[in-house]
Amino acid sequence: LLILGGLSFVLNQLIKCSLTSAGGKGDPIDYLLLVTLVALVLVGIIFSILFVFMDSSSCTSALFFYMMTTVLALGVFVPWLQYLIRRHPLLWLLEFLVQSHTRLYLLAFWLLLALIACVVVLHQNSKRSPDSKKLHVSTTIRKYFHFLAVATYIPGLLYDRQLLYVASVICLAVFVLLEYMRYFRIKPFGQTLRNLLTLFLDERDSGPLILTHIYLLLGMSLPVWLFPRVCATSLTGSSTLLPYAGVL
């Protein structure tokens, strides 16, 4: 019910935005998150239904997953976003990312942090012996990822909040798609993701889904997502800390 309610709300907002943008050129910042959320939810619903009748861990299912995701993305959601913003989203994204040297520096810094996070995951898994499948990392190790998240968001909040907005939405899409692949055991990455992430599970991930990293992303991004226009401007007074609410 919560998922259906959230989807209904997002669809309602997206329809309103579509109607109001019909007479002019829309700003991608106004629509990127909405289109991404609708796409992720619909993709999840579609594959949840299909994999009831198919073995999701087979090569055929993997090929179907990648082809269907690509078709939906390039054939439905990208044209939808293009209609809303009156230009091709991929061209806009490329121009947006290379608009200034600051953005290139931030992207390079974030890429470095992502590589560090991957190294930590691989290093911790390399220390696990075959007899320690149920071994979990300590809370201190998990805090490394919290530190990396804060180190990611602070420069973005200080120097380019619009870039942080776009990057966090893209990161959400990547996280959710990877979770789909892990949950459905989509080859060739599904089982590998299961093996790598098992070490980092805690009591909050006792169910079939691993959502801790997505919760962390949502918690830090919500202030920027909910008030993108406000956060993009110079704030004064008590509202100065609004963009930093997720980090604080």
User: Where does the pLDDT of residue 5 fall: very low under 50, low under 70, confident under 90, or very high at 90 and above?
Assistant: low
Q: What is the mean pLDDT of residues 8-22?
A: 57
Please compute Rg for the chain using Cα positions: 19
Which residue from 242, 31, 98 is spatially nearest to 157, judged by alpha carbons? 242
Residue 134 has pLDDT above 60, yes or no: no
Confidence of residue 129 (pLDDT cuts 50, 70, 90): low
- Give pLDDT, residue 123: 82
Comparison of pLDDT for 233 and 211, the residue scoring more: 211
Predicted local confidence at residue 235, as pLDDT: 53
Q: What pLDDT, on a 0 to 100 scale, did the predictor assign at position 130? A: 59
CA separation for the pair 2, 174 (Å, rounded): 22
| Mean pLDDT for the stretch of residues 143-150 | 86
114-143: average pLDDT:
74
Q: Decide if pLDDT at 14 tops 70.
A: no
pLDDT > 90: percent of the chain? 26
Tell me the H-state helices in 89-211. Answer: 89-97, 101-126, 139-159, 161-184, 190-198
Residue 73 has pLDDT above 80, yes or no: yes
What is the rounded average pLDDT for all residues in the chain? 81
The better pLDDT of the pair 115, 24 is held by 115
Question: pTM of the entire structure?
Answer: 0.84
**Per residue in 56-71, pLDDT tens?**
888 888 999 999 999 9
Q: Please tell me the distance from the alpha carbon of residue 89 to that of residue 82, in angstroms, as a whole number.
A: 6
Q: Would you say 247 and 154 are in contact if contact means Cβ atoms under 8 Å apart?
A: yes
* More confident site: 25 or 125: 125
Pairwise CA distance, residues 142 & 16, whole Å: 41
Given 3-state DSSP classes, what are the helix, strand and coil percentages for the chain, each rounded to the nearest 5?
75, 0, 25
Residue-wise pLDDT for 160-206, tens only, equals 888 999 999 999 999 999 999 998 999 888 888 888 887 776 666 55
Question: Residues 35, 92: contact at Cβ < 8 Å?
Answer: no
Q: Which residues contact 235 (CB under 8 A, 6 or more apart)?
A: 242, 243
Q: DSSP label at 74?
A: I
Distance, first Cα to last Cα, the chain? 31
Q: How far apart are CA 35 and CA 81, in angstroms?
A: 7
pLDDT digits (tens, 9 = 90+) for 82-101: 888 888 999 999 999 999 99
- The pLDDT value given to residue 216: 87
Most confident of 161-165, 208-212, 225-229, 241-245: 161-165
Which pLDDT score is estimated for 27?
Answer: 77
